[in-house]
Amino acid sequence: MIYLIKPLIVNITIIFSLMFNANLFFPFSKRKPLNFKQQTIFGLFSAFSAKLCMLYPIETLEDTNFDFRMIPILVVTLYGGWYPGLICTVIVVIIRYTIGGEYVYVGIAVSILALGIGLLFRTVFLKSTKKMLYGLVVISIYYLGYIFILFSTVSFLGINFYIVYFLAFGITFIALIYTVERLIIANQQFDETLYMDKLSTVGQMAAAFAHEIRNPITTVRGFIQYINNDTKDENLKQFAPLILDELDRTNKIITNYLTVARPTDFSLNYIDVNKVLQDSVELIRPFGSYRNVSIELELEGDHFIYSDEHHLKQALMNIIKNGIEAVEEDQGGYIKIHKQSGEEKGTIVITIVDNGIGMTEEQLEKIGLPYYTTKTKGTGLGSMITNRLIHEMKGKIQYESRVHTGTKVTVTLPTVRNKS
Ligand code: ADP
Ligand code: MG
């Protein structure tokens, strides 16, 4: 038995150690799709790990080459897609071909089968919330094909062998999915901590000087208004409204900063999400009409959350406002807001979709960072505040976007059953 287990342990060690290394250099993440370069790197990484596995097959079984090279193929195809999967498979096939031997085509066939199964189940796998369970389905179906190919080509090798090999194969595969999922979560938490740190620094700085600036602004504003009422100077009469406008704008920016600084000022209540959404839409509708953007609101069911109404409204309005501003004025457009229960129990999902200019991948990465804006009159604080507020509500926010097509913002919030 030990002659079976030894090479398998080597295989398992290779796969896991390379996966941890891959994660170290290119952290796994669910949020952004992999770009071409990352896909290539993941493809090569998995090919390398498959190749190392092939160096340590179970040698004692006649001319066969049993090893775990299909696991990297399956995992990289499921998570990365057809391109890295194909890189890995092609390299494996070439290496297997050069090793040669009686069963060379069997070895090639089971590797290609792994790619096929990976591709077939990828979409559903990525969407499923119970990845390990789904991984079990994937591996079972793969086994069907694998065992069929084996039995129709290779002579029977002893029941002990099959039990040990397939059991170890399955466990390694599931354990690998489990580890990848854990790593994705850990990476995300790490990113979030960094982000929250940055926010609190900005917040503290803002709080320190915001008050100091506000007082003189109020005084200046008062005097300008006072002089303006009495004056006969045409110049002053003409420019006073402008000065007042700009002062108001400055004041608003400071208020924004203060919201970042003190999001803990929650006045908590049971709030009706439908009502907050309706209110927010009504408040912002005039701005939409002015920019030729229609706003549609679709509400499925009643939901209550325990939170601060004002803050939820502000977070939602920031998102909707960005959507409206993303639409090109002369063309007009729409914002579609939808609310329904989340897949996870006790949550709601609000999606805000626009058909505006969209964002590139680089822009998507920067959204929510302090001062990041592409607008001439923007502050680059809106999404930062939104993110912070949603975070404080124990919710999640996610941006998806495509240039010239539009943006979809998904907000997930925890609900309470009912206020009564
Ligand atoms: P501001 O609106 O003041 O620019 P935000 O933090 O609200 O600041 O947004 C930052 C940037 O993110 C915007 O300048 C814009 O480039 C981009 N952005 C945000 N929402 C959208 C959207 N729905 N469509 C396209 N770009 C967006
Ligand atoms: Mg904004």
- Same domain flag for 91 and 110: yes
The answer to whether the CB of 400 falls within 8 A of the CB of 410 is: yes
Task: Name the pairing type of β-strands 269-272 and 304-307.
Answer: antiparallel
- Same domain flag for 309 and 232: no
CA of 63 to the centre of ligand 2 (A): 65
CB of 111 closer than 6 angstroms to any ligand 1 atom: no
Which amino acid is residue 180, in one-letter code? V
CA of 328 to the centre of ligand 2 (A): 15
CB of 187 closer than 6 angstroms to any ligand 1 atom: no
Ligand 1 nearest atom to the CA of residue 357, by list position = 25
- Could you tell me if residue 420 is inside a domain? no
- Same domain flag for 15 and 70: yes
Cα distance between residue 124 and residue 131, in whole Å: 10
CB of 357 closer than 6 angstroms to any ligand 1 atom: yes
CB of 374 closer than 6 angstroms to any ligand 1 atom: yes
Cα distance between residue 247 and residue 253, in whole Å: 10
- Same domain flag for 28 and 154: yes
- Same domain flag for 153 and 217: no
CB of 380 closer than 6 angstroms to any ligand 1 atom: yes
Which among 367, 397, 400 is the best mutation to test ligand 1's pocket, defined by most ligand atoms within 8 Å of the CB? Answer: 367
CB of 354 closer than 6 angstroms to any ligand 1 atom: yes
CB of 359 closer than 6 angstroms to any ligand 1 atom: yes
Length of the chain counted residue by residue:
420
- Could you tell me if residue 21 is inside a domain? yes
CA of 40 to the centre of ligand 2 (A): 35
- Could you tell me if residue 48 is inside a domain? yes
Backbone angles phi, psi at 334, to 5 degrees: -140, 155
Ligand 1 nearest atom to the CA of residue 380, by list position = 8
- Same domain flag for 120 and 33: yes
CB atoms within 10 A of CB 388: 24
| Protein residue closest via CA to atom 16 of ligand 1 | 374
Q: Considering its fold, how many domains does the chain have in total?
A: 3
- Out of 165, 186, 207, pick the residue that ends a domain: 186
Ligand 1 nearest atom to the CA of residue 352, by list position = 23
CB of 43 closer than 6 angstroms to any ligand 1 atom: no
- Could you tell me if residue 14 is inside a domain? yes
Q: Token pair 């096939």 is at which residue?
A: 93
Q: Token pair 């796994």 is at which residue?
A: 28
- Out of 238, 261, 284, pick the residue that ends a domain: 261
CB of 252 closer than 6 angstroms to any ligand 1 atom: no
- Could you tell me if residue 200 is inside a domain? yes
- Same domain flag for 43 and 182: yes
| Protein residue closest via CA to atom 19 of ligand 1 | 322
- Same domain flag for 227 and 151: no
Which ligand has the nearest atom to the CA of 371? 1
- Same domain flag for 164 and 80: yes
- What's the pLDDT score for residue 232? 85
- What's the pLDDT score for residue 314? 86
- Could you tell me if residue 419 is inside a domain? no
Range of the domain at 317: 269-414
CA of 179 to the centre of ligand 2 (A): 37
Contacts of 173 by beta carbon, 8 Å cutoff, 6+ apart: 71, 74, 75, 135, 139
- Could you tell me if residue 245 is inside a domain? yes
- What's the pLDDT score for residue 158? 81
- Same domain flag for 56 and 177: yes
CA of 359 to the centre of ligand 1 (A): 9
- What's the pLDDT score for residue 101? 82
| Protein residue closest via CA to atom 11 of ligand 1 | 373
CB of 333 closer than 6 angstroms to any ligand 1 atom: no
CB of 379 closer than 6 angstroms to any ligand 1 atom: yes
Q: Is 160 exposed, middle or buried (0-12, 13-18, 19+ CB in 10 A)?
A: exposed
- Same domain flag for 53 and 202: no
CA of 25 to the centre of ligand 2 (A): 33
Cα distance between residue 53 and residue 99, in whole Å: 13
| Protein residue closest via CA to atom 8 of ligand 1 | 380
pLDDT tens readout for residues 269-279: 899 999 999 98
Per-position pLDDT tens, the chain of length 420: 777 888 899 999 999 999 999 999 888 988 677 889 999 999 999 999 999 999 988 876 667 788 999 999 999 999 999 999 999 999 999 999 998 888 889 999 999 999 999 999 999 999 888 899 999 999 999 999 999 998 888 887 788 888 989 999 999 999 999 999 999 999 988 888 887 777 777 767 767 777 788 888 999 999 999 988 888 888 888 888 999 988 988 888 777 667 666 655 667 889 999 999 998 998 888 889 989 999 999 999 999 999 888 889 889 999 999 999 999 878 889 999 999 999 888 999 999 999 999 999 889 989 988 888 998 878 888 898 899 889 888 999 999 999 999 999 999 999 987 655
CATH label of the domain that carries residue 289:
3.30.565.10
CB of 370 closer than 6 angstroms to any ligand 1 atom: no
- Same domain flag for 124 and 253: no
Contacts of 154 by beta carbon, 8 Å cutoff, 6+ apart: 64, 103, 106
CA of 352 to the centre of ligand 1 (A): 13
CB of 183 closer than 6 angstroms to any ligand 1 atom: no
- What's the pLDDT score for residue 262? 61
- Out of 162, 186, 210, pick the residue that ends a domain: 186
